[in-house]
Amino acid sequence: MSDIQKLLSQLHNNELSRRQFITRAVGLGLSASAAVSLATGGRAAAAIQATPAADREPVTVTIWSWREDDVLVWQAAAEDLQETWPGLEVEVEVSDATEFGTKVSTAMQGGQGPDIITTRAGEGYFRPYAEANMFVPLTDKVPGLAEIPEGTLGQVSFGDEVLAVPFASQVWVFYYNTQIFEEHGLTPPETWSDLMSTFQTLKDAGVTPLFVPAREGWVLSGYVDCIGSTYLGDEFAGQLIAGEKQFTDEKFVSLLSRIKDLQPFFQEGYVGNNVPDMDAAFQSGQAAMILYGGWAANTYIEQAPDLEFDFFLSPPDEAGEEPSSYVFVDGGYAVNAASEVQEAALELVKYSATVDYGQTFSDITQEMSSIPGVTATEENKYLQRQIEFAEHAIQNLYRIRSPFDQGDPGISTLLHPLMQGLLSDQVTPEEVAQQLQEGLAQWYEPFQNGQG
Amino acid sequence: MRVFRFLRRPSVAADADTSLPGRRGRAVAIKQHTYLLMLVPGLAMYLAFIIWPFANTIRVSFYNWSGLGPLDDFVGLGNYTNLFNRAPINRQFSNALSNTAQVFFLSTVLSTFVGLGFALILSRKIPGSRFYQALYFMPNTLSVVVVGFLWNLLLNPQFGAVNAVLRSIGLDSLARPWLGDPDFALPSIVAVSAWANMGFPVLIFLAAILGIPSDLLEAARLDGASELRVVATIVIPLLWPTLITLIVLNFIASVNTFELVFAMEGSEGGPFFATDVLGTLFYRMAFGGVGGVYAGTGLGGAAALATLMLVIVLPVSVFVIIYQRKVSHEY
């Protein structure tokens, strides 16, 4: 039996996830697209026809990304498009996530950018590129956009023009160690008071209830998203966006107080911990819970195969009420207006808006594709769970990717350090709310009409 | 000690009669100024890579510019006044300025003065002094990222070696989340920086101490001066120019502090801006910081901040260079 056959056998026996299968098959010399095709049972290439295939010259499209998995995804996409564009190849360059934005903006300014850019999301991100006409407007060029919800497209647009095809959506969740919960007779909480009782039970038993990476302001801001989506709800968030409510309103201040109330359940020295510390603590069973993005689930599966964990959303105050989730677009694919192979780049980006591409994306990355109709593989309950949570997403985003993130200073810029200050007792919930309101009122028009 | 003067023009040129008429006079004049041509390559490089970017930075500081697209939104002194008047950037600017000043004072004590102490000890002919010189200089060879990563682990509140040592010797009360505690994060980073860069001041002080004529010291000892007195009244005063040079270099390095803070606390200078310095503030303004979120203050504001940083550094440097010339001495 060849190595590939062994891998296939392991895949069919559910001993390997599809992602593990693809990674190992590529390691054995199989092309990425062939590996994906084997893993997913093979799918027909998308039939996107612009100019006859025979008239198309072989080209190489350069793509920049901060995501390692994108190499496999794009190679598979190029393979799928061979019928419509013979000789189409991709060259994917992956850079460090922290420096990626700087690298792209510097290269674009110097006219040295790639043909396809993996973008972040939010109007604020797209503004400088749109004002400089550096991205190709996609609204009329990508048929697949019609199937994507408006709220999602709004996060990859500037004004009325869609500038990128969204590739993934993310959701903030409470992760919990199921073994620890079972050992202490706990179940996922149905109400906020259940959650507090769960924390207390764990603390009394000498277990760290919640591991908090307080050195990372962006994670602490995620607490506002995760807990706030259920606590504030769509109506209040909508009123905030309309300027009818303010961040200094009691409801938002009490959300911050609610987060601060969790402090006694954090690990000792939490202000000195970062995300790698949190990952290590959760994977090794030193902490019962963390609050983080769904994207980490695959890392935990790979790095700690024995870890048994699951998710829940921030619970509501009353039993029987539905919890809500905060779902946001991770990023998109944009076409460089200065690309010399723009037609080929557009062909790839068009394909990225199809269900076939979305399914390949989800199969490889195990992340939620932004394309409707993509399903989770049976063995990945974590992705299934995230897709379920996404059905309960609030529609009025009030923090990341929200209208408050589109100006200067944006809500994320303001909130990251303020949350650190809140949880290190430097500022009170009222002061956080006040500084948020003051900062946003400088540019957010609904807060300037005599209400801010 | 012999003092080498900078190369003079050849005496033949200096003695030439420039009033000679005709071709001979021009030839002499050309020969006399040939050295100016030699300066052109260096000057061109200096203009292209120092002066032009600097002038361009000042120009950009008068525009509202994200770094992309045309530079056409002239705002005059708007970017400068924003740094002082517009919340929250004004609070962040004054905080970063204060933190930068703290970095300077703390690093002067921890690096320069402690370095002087080590150099004085190592200048004595004690066993193993050469080994210690190499040992102190060794961290200088590590990259800032490696130093940051290493000390991030050592200072970890749960499993870091620093807290483990403190707990093992009964000093539990001193163990703390060093890099997450707003009161200790900045001093911790300065201490790490001093550890990493200690070799440089030690090396410079040691060279200066060894350059002091031994007959001066011997004479003092023959007159009955104690070692402490020799150091206090002869060595330290003679090291004064070196000390000033190192303090100025430390001042310039402090104003430009960025790498280690970025490696250990990220571009936000956390926790809650406790380690935010002018360099990290500049980075956030210019490039938008964490997550690539576009910062509207943009490159124009960052250019204004960079210009202000230069305005802070330049006069101090010029003053000290002039002062140093006055107090320098020849043996």
Q: In this predicted model, what pLDDT tens digit does every residue of A41-91 receive, in sequence order?
A: 544 333 334 456 667 889 999 999 998 889 999 999 999 999 999 999 999
- Which of 90-119 (A) contact B at CB < 8 A? 98, 100-102, 104-106, 108-109
Query: Nearest 10 degrees: CA dihedral of A420, A426, A432, A436?
Result: -70
Whether A323 contacts A10, CB under 8 Å: no
The DSSP line for A189-214 is -SSHHHHHHHHHHHHHTT-EEE---T
Partner-chain residue, chosen from B69, B291, B295, that has the shortest CB–CB distance to A120: B291
Averaged pLDDT, B297-321: 86
User: Residue A213: pLDDT band by 50, 70, 90 thresholds?
Assistant: very high
Give the list of residues 6+ apart from residue A242 with CB closer than 8 angstroms, or none. Answer: A446
Whether A93 contacts A116, CB under 8 Å: no
pLDDT of B52 > 70? The answer is yes
pLDDT of B2 > 60? The answer is no
pLDDT of A17 > 90? The answer is no
What is the rounded distance in angstroms from the CA atom of residue B69 to the CA atom of residue A132?
5
Residue of chain B whose Cα is closest to the Cα of A277: B156
User: Residue A400: pLDDT band by 50, 70, 90 thresholds?
Assistant: very high
Lowest model confidence (mean pLDDT) among A142-146, A188-192, A319-323, B68-72: B68-72
Whether A441 contacts A448, CB under 8 Å: yes
pLDDT at res. A182:
97
What is the rounded distance in angstroms from the CA atom of residue B97 to the CA atom of residue B92?
8
Q: What are the tens digits of pLDDT across the range A373-387?
A: 888 877 788 898 998
Token pair of B160 as six digits: 């870091």
The pTM score is 0.79
Closest CA–CA distance from residue B153 to any residue of chain A (Å)? 10
In this structure, are strands A165-177 and A161-162 parallel, antiparallel, or unpaired? Answer: unpaired
Q: Quick one: which H or E segment has residue A332?
A: strand A327-335
Continuous H helices in B256-297:
259-265, 278-287
The DSSP line for B113-162 is IHHHHHHHHHHS--TTHHHHHHHHHGGGGS-HHHHHHHHHHHT-TTT-HH
What 8-state DSSP symbol labels residue A325? B
pLDDT at res. A51:
55
Residue of chain A whose Cα is closest to the Cα of B276: A417
- Greatest alpha-carbon pair distance for chain B in Å reads 91
Asked if A105 and B67 come within 8 Å (Cβ–Cβ), the reply is: yes
φ and ψ at B56, to 5 degrees?
-70, -35
| Type of residue found at A434 | Q
Decide if A128 touches B, using CB distance below 8 A. Answer: yes
Higher-confidence residue of A180 and B124: namely: A180
- Which of 205-224 (A) contact B at CB < 8 A? 214-218
Whether A215 contacts A273, CB under 8 Å: yes
What is the rounded distance in angstroms from the CA atom of residue A250 to the CA atom of residue A237?
13
pLDDT of A270 > 60? The answer is yes
Burial, A427: exposed, middle or buried (Cβ in 10 Å; 0-12, 13-18, 19+)? buried
Interface predicted TM-score (ipTM) over 0.85 = no
pLDDT of A416 > 60? The answer is yes
Token pair of A343 as six digits: 């037609």
In this structure, are strands A116-119 and A327-335 parallel, antiparallel, or unpaired? Answer: antiparallel
User: Residue A29: pLDDT band by 50, 70, 90 thresholds?
Assistant: low
CA A191 from chain centre, in angstroms, equals 26
Residue of chain A whose Cα is closest to the Cα of B295: A408
Asked if A269 and B180 come within 8 Å (Cβ–Cβ), the reply is: yes
Closest CA–CA distance from residue B136 to any residue of chain A (Å)? 28
Buried b (16+ CB within 10 A) or exposed e, A396-414: bbbbbbbbbbbbbbbbbbb
Decide if A427 touches B, using CB distance below 8 A. Answer: yes
Residues of A in contact with B157 (CB under 8 A): 268-270, 272-273
- Tally C-beta pairs within 8 A across A and B: 137
pLDDT of A292 > 90? The answer is yes
Residue of chain B whose Cα is closest to the Cα of A436: B88
Residues of B in contact with A105 (CB under 8 A): 67-68, 287
pLDDT of A20 > 80? The answer is no
**Which chain B residues touch A if contact means CB-CB below 8 Å?**
66-70, 86-89, 152, 155-158, 176-182, 265-266, 268, 270-273, 287-298
pLDDT of B16 > 60? The answer is no
Residues of B in contact with A277 (CB under 8 A): 156, 158
- Which of 363-422 (A) contact B at CB < 8 A? 405, 407-410, 412-414, 416-418, 420-421
User: Residue B25: pLDDT band by 50, 70, 90 thresholds?
Assistant: confident
| CB neighbours of residue B308 within 10 Å | 19
In this structure, are strands A161-162 and A157-158 parallel, antiparallel, or unpaired? Answer: antiparallel
Burial, A365: exposed, middle or buried (Cβ in 10 Å; 0-12, 13-18, 19+)? buried
Asked if A442 and B87 come within 8 Å (Cβ–Cβ), the reply is: yes
The DSSP line for A84-101 is TSTT-EEEEEE--HHHHH
Asked if A109 and B68 come within 8 Å (Cβ–Cβ), the reply is: yes
Residue of chain B whose Cα is closest to the Cα of A125: B294
In this structure, are strands A60-65 and A89-94 parallel, antiparallel, or unpaired? Answer: parallel
Higher-confidence residue of A411 and B299: namely: A411
What is the rounded distance in angstroms from the CA atom of residue B186 to the CA atom of residue B188?
5
pLDDT above 90 covers what percent of chain A?
Answer: 65
- Mapping DSSP to helix (H, G, I), strand (E, B) and coil, where does residue A319 land? coil
| Type of residue found at B32 | Q
